[in-house]
Structure 1
């Protein structure tokens, strides 16, 4: 293949801000102390092929803070979990246990849904 093009998939016609401009478009996240955050704990199965997942919503925190919190919750519940779109998802139905942990950490948490 002696066409002389090189890396055709990395050809950029015009770019104004250099190589990585993702930081320019990010919105700053305001970090509130746990006492001022109203979080909701809910167990759901929708869109998960029948598997129950406990979802914690309502966080106003930086991704690093959420990563530390999800690590602690996963260890306490003995299961897996992740952070998606400023929400924490923990595998299994652990509503009451997660509620107790969040209240001990100072969050204003409530169980949402049935």
Structure 2
């Protein structure tokens, strides 16, 4: 007796629904026409990826930073219209941003 049979015995009047739930929706951010600049630097000898040029609302800016950090499983911060991500993740960040509809420009090597 599997789980479905046990549930039918417990709840005989229940009619299961079809899985009509939409898949995980992508978060919507304010999109801009200017590209976001993605560059690599070393600060205190450690690599960081810097994103500049996002001019959306502060709430979207915080959400974008949080989503990038959780997507990459790394630390980072945002200060004065700049997102700082710990490590060299330019390619992954650019793919993430392009997947969400942003125009991205890579600066430096």
TM beyond 0.5:
yes
After the TM superposition, which segments of 4 or more aligned residues of structure 1 sit over 3 Å from their partners?
Answer: none
Question: Is the 1:70–1:88 Cα contact (8 Å) retained in structure 2?
Answer: yes
| Runs of at least 5 residues in structure 1 that lack an aligned partner in the other structure | 1-31
Question: Is the 1:37–1:60 Cα contact (8 Å) retained in structure 2?
Answer: no
User: Which among 21, 36, 50 is matched to residue 39 of structure 1?
Assistant: 36
Q: How far is the alpha carbon of 1:35 from its aligned partner?
A: 4.6
Give TM-score scaled by structure 2 length. 0.70
For 2:50 and 2:78, how far apart are their aligned partners in 1?
Answer: 10
For 2:50 and 2:39, how far apart are their aligned partners in 1?
Answer: 5
The answer to whether 1:58 aligns with 2:53 is yes
1:89 corresponds in structure 2 to: 84
For 1:96 and 1:112, how far apart are their aligned partners in 2?
Answer: 12
Q: Which piece of structure 1 moves more, 91-100 or 55-64? A: 55-64
Question: Is the 1:52–1:93 Cα contact (8 Å) retained in structure 2?
Answer: yes
For 1:88 and 1:33, how far apart are their aligned partners in 2?
Answer: 16
Give TM-score scaled by structure 1 length. 0.67
- Give the CA RMSD over aligned residues: 1.5
| Runs of at least 5 residues in structure 2 that lack an aligned partner in the other structure | 1-28
For 1:65 and 1:37, how far apart are their aligned partners in 2?
Answer: 16
Q: How many residues align?
A: 81
